[in-house]
Structure 1
């Protein structure tokens, strides 16, 4: 791994643009039946005039998934804004997959309308995410019309420049969690987000991309050594949240507020969505 601030990182092509990570060819053998069943269930639960395209993202298409530990992540592009029926169908698919395949620790399906995905407001957030971090599973790749992306401050701001807005809600959720299962789930989500936010904070300086949480923490620590230990702890807890029962509160009251302030100082705040009439 290259961590020198003077050297280009990984994940870019010769022009300095993101290389799309993941592919169906990289799906580990234990997860191939899960992906096949996902494809079949989507065809059953969503009509062709409703579902435009489906994508995989996360460790399964990157080829790094661990049976019994990793979850399955998918994103569906719909013709129009998701309805209650669409959300119910997605939840049903998640439940069926989680019950049928012990090799996944849950399934998660995101929904977005094609028009919104391709909008100017989403160009450097969800648009970038689907174009660069998602693997086409079925249907046309709707991101073909989007620009090529580079690891810029603009991209950093629009992807993770809202931690300061989300932090109060995360603290409320942590305070309201009454079971260890709830805290484990929240710890996993918060730690993943903090590590990725820490990485995108330094991404333009590093000049590359990685989705690997351990590598992300290492790259971050090169630029902010005083906070490296906390970020490494967050990366470990993202994989094994139950092993770090006290870390969630420590992060939400220590690393997270510092990271939110530093992000604002370096990249600014993420653009707020346009308000309705």
Structure 2
């Protein structure tokens, strides 16, 4: 099957950086401005740079439904006090702006983001999926990236390691739709992205749209297409059904982890994997 060439790629075949401040929808610009204003006060001289990612810089955010996604790079590895400050900032922004549904913040030290170990995971994430908001852009110190098997392995080749943790999270959640809905949203999105990167080198392109990801996967794995299309829909409009979560950790997840290992191998272990 021929790949769709150049979607999400630049003329040289590298993944094009998605998102920019000019694409931020009008309703979300006060949120972005407030985050930009408060970050220096929150982290002071520890702050190296900050970035937006997700639907807001891509221009696809929905008022009252989308969250504000931030990546914060510090000059040194974050401390527990830094994490507390990050959570407090997110809570304050979420309370002030009804147009967002929460704030998700990733917090890392500059050295880790630029490390060889993270070159094709967090480094790629910064260089291709993050939009600079404050400070010197770390992408200048990172390479260009192609949608190849190395990138696939290092971004999502750890699903087998994650599945036991997911089972623990499901077991520990309250027995209610409201408690399960965030888990369905998170796991649906992760599985669709993993399904997409499984076929990404053959599809030869990049997209962050869950439905486009599901369709790319479906072209190569038609017998699993329905499950991944359903997961893509639930990634945008999650339900709280317990059977959905069970199917993720008992069926789709284990199959996808095994197939991923067969095709791309296993992600390089991180120290926190223990």
What displacement does 1:44 show? 1.8
Is 1:106 the equivalent of 2:105?
no
Q: Do the aligned residues in 2 keep the contact of 1:167 with 1:252 (CA within 8 Å)?
A: yes
Is 1:15 the equivalent of 2:12?
yes
Structure 1 runs not aligned, ≥5 long = none
Q: Which residue number in structure 2 is paired with residue 58 of structure 1?
A: 54
Is 1:121 the equivalent of 2:109?
no
Counterparts of residues 1-277 of structure 1 (less than 5 Å): 5-47=2-44, 49-178=45-174, 179-242=176-239, 246-273=243-270
Q: Give structure 1 regions of 4+ aligned residues with deviation exceeding 6 angstroms.
A: none
Matches of 2:249 and 2:178, distance apart in 1? 18
TM-score normalised by L of structure 2: 0.96
Q: Do the aligned residues in 1 keep the contact of 2:90 with 2:102 (CA within 8 Å)?
A: yes
Q: Do the aligned residues in 2 keep the contact of 1:69 with 1:239 (CA within 8 Å)?
A: no
Q: Do the aligned residues in 2 keep the contact of 1:237 with 1:244 (CA within 8 Å)?
A: no
Q: Do the aligned residues in 1 keep the contact of 2:179 with 2:240 (CA within 8 Å)?
A: no
Q: How many residues align?
A: 272
Deviations 1:96-130 (A, max 9, x none): 11111111111011111001110100000000000
Q: Do the aligned residues in 1 keep the contact of 2:86 with 2:105 (CA within 8 Å)?
A: yes
Deviations 1:107-159 (A, max 9, x none): 01111100111010000000000000000001010121111100010000000
Structure 2 runs not aligned, ≥5 long = none
What displacement does 1:244 show? 5.0
Root-mean-square deviation (CA), in Å?
1.5
Q: Do the aligned residues in 2 keep the contact of 1:23 with 1:62 (CA within 8 Å)?
A: yes
